[in-house]
Structure 1
Amino acid sequence: MLDAIRYLVAGGISWRAMPTDFPAWGRAYAFFRRWREHGLITEFHDRLRGKVREREGREAEPTAGIIDAQSVKAAATVPATSRGYDGGKKVGGHKRHIVTDTLGLLLVVAVTAANIGDRDAAVGLLTRLHHDICLLWADGGYTGGLVDWCRQKLALTLEVVKRTDDMEGFVVLPRRWVVERTFAWLMHSRRLARDYETLPATSEAMIRWSMVTRMTRRLARPRAAGRR
């Protein structure tokens, strides 16, 4: 069942196109839905993240992270009630709001309509951040009252990393590049190259499954010589 879902996320196929080597698509989808509805994929994902962090010599639970958002086009099958238009990025569809640790591993994710502002979505996203996070980096889209709200409501320091006036073209910004790399990782999964899901909760589950595949491969990779 796990391999079937990983295959679907990586290959971008539909449920009904599941190869005969795997269980019947209806059984695989029922397994996926049960794990999504009962929070089992979140628990599975978070345990793997702790293992990866410990393998890298870190504590299982992080204390710092990075927040950002990515707009992605939605397929025609996505209902109009859950989609929107991001005028800044000129993308119609959904927006993925994520918080990662400093290794780029996913901490929390929320999928909204693309017209939802970053600051508006951040309030709900950060209240779901059940970690020992005390410092968070963000881009200029998170300036304003959100900085004070994080300090007063969550005892969290939100530090905005801005581009300077003399920067031209693409520039790798401190800390912010980590979350941008995570978005790039997600786009390697063909199911995530465009949003095909009817429910935002299903989109969030697909993102976690994509990260599960990346983390399991990382854990299975032999350690480099000289590393403990």
Structure 2
Amino acid sequence: MSPKKVGVRPVFGMSLRSLPKTIRQSHAPEALQLRPFGSQWEQIKRYFATSRRRKYDLRYHVLDAILYIVKTGTQWRMLPGKFAEWQTVYYYFRRWREEGRILQVLSITSRAARRRAGQHGEPSALIIDCQSVPSARVGGPSARVGRISSFDAFKKVNGRKRHIAARAQGLLWGLVVHAAGDHETQWALQLLAPIASRLDRVETVFADQAYRGLEETLDREFAWKLQVVESDGENSGFSVDPKRSVARTNLRVVRRVAPARPRAGATGRLQ
């Protein structure tokens, strides 16, 4: 649900309005922030209009606030006072997301991380996987979000699926959210097509058996090879696959910073 649509909710018997202002005005612990260092900021600042004078500094008051939410998973309304007002931060977050700026920054930082590790900026292989999560029922304007929520008969989950494409270092290259009842093969192309337009070196995609049958499609659309990772048939229980464990780790992070509750105005694709 969009923060602008959220009403005042009780917290331990009292509303947010009744909380002392000092709670919101307290400074965030420096250890919990992900402030971009000078060299990192130099790489991405060209994607932000920093030349015009503003009440708030886009780096220290807005971008730092977004990174703080990513790190802590806190509510928008509970941003510490050292940042801009939460309405301002959320406005820029929505704007940058819709303009594709966040996607550009993610791509730049991922390439930089690979180069620091002595690798090429672009990966030659990807790992795709998805996770079904329950969605809370909400009324009002958010009810329309139910259109991307359905029942996953295999996982026995009524909600949505988070569909990601990652690499061995844990870097996230793509993310799509869709109804849990939709099969993985229905959305694989929606996930991979934007990545194919940005990456030129990808040759192989690793996936589990749910994606079997897409071999010809990926070869025809992107000239990529789909390699299905077989499970260990000798063990009846859960078996850990090194490649899929990378995707699972990313899905746990996505679950922490992106709750399953539907949000007003949400779309099937997150950028």
TM-score range, shorter chain: 0.7 to 0.9
TM-superposed deviation, 1:62? 0.7
Seen in structure 2, the aligned counterparts of structure 1 residues 201 and 51 have a Cα distance that, compared at 3 Å, is: farther
Q: Is the 8 A contact 1:72 1:92 kept in 2?
A: yes
Stretch of structure 1 that moved more, 132-141 or 19-28: 19-28
Match of 2:83 in 1: 22
Seen in structure 2, the aligned counterparts of structure 1 residues 58 and 154 have a Cα distance that, compared at 3 Å, is: same
Question: What secondary structure sits across from 1:179 in the alignment?
Answer: helix
Q: For 1:134, which of 203, 211, 215 is the aligned residue?
A: 203
Question: What secondary structure sits across from 1:93 in the alignment?
Answer: strand
Which has the higher Rg, Structure 1 or Structure 2?
A: 2
Match of 2:123 in 1: 62
Give distance in 1, aligned partners of 2:209 and 2:218: 15
Q: Is the 8 A contact 2:136 2:262 kept in 1?
A: yes
| TM-score for both structures, normalised by structure 1 | 0.80
Structure 1: stretches of 5+ with no match in the other structure: 206-228
Give distance in 2, aligned partners of 1:62 and 1:98: 15
Q: After superposition, where does 1:118-129 map in structure 2 within 5 Å?
A: 118-129=184-195
Measured against aligned partners, the alpha-carbon deviations of 1:150-182 in whole angstroms (never above 9, x if no partner) come to 112211100101113212222112422221222
| TM-score for both structures, normalised by structure 2 | 0.68
Question: What secondary structure sits across from 2:181 in the alignment?
Answer: coil
Q: After superposition, where does 1:20-99 map in structure 2 within 5 Å?
A: 20-77=81-138, 79-99=145-165
Q: Which is bigger in relative contact order (C-alpha 8 A, separation at least 6)? A: 1
Match of 1:209 in 2: none
Measured against aligned partners, the alpha-carbon deviations of 1:90-113 in whole angstroms (never above 9, x if no partner) come to 222221111112222111111111
Percentage of identical aligned residues = 33
Q: After superposition, where does 1:1-228 map in structure 2 within 5 Å?
A: 1-77=62-138, 79-130=145-196, 131=199, 132-144=201-213, 146-187=214-255, 189=256, 191-201=257-267, 204-205=270-271
Give distance in 2, aligned partners of 1:11 and 1:203: 23
Measured against aligned partners, the alpha-carbon deviations of 1:8-38 in whole angstroms (never above 9, x if no partner) come to 3333333233332321111111110111110
Seen in structure 2, the aligned counterparts of structure 1 residues 72 and 203 have a Cα distance that, compared at 3 Å, is: farther
TM-superposed deviation, 1:123? 1.9
Give distance in 1, aligned partners of 2:148 and 2:253: 24
Give distance in 1, aligned partners of 2:136 and 2:72: 16
RMSD: 2.0
Match of 1:210 in 2: none
Q: Is the 8 A contact 2:178 2:268 kept in 1?
A: no
Q: Is the 8 A contact 1:75 1:195 kept in 2?
A: yes
Number of residues of Structure 1 aligned to a counterpart in Structure 2: 202
Which residue identity lines up with residue 72 of structure 1 in the other structure? V
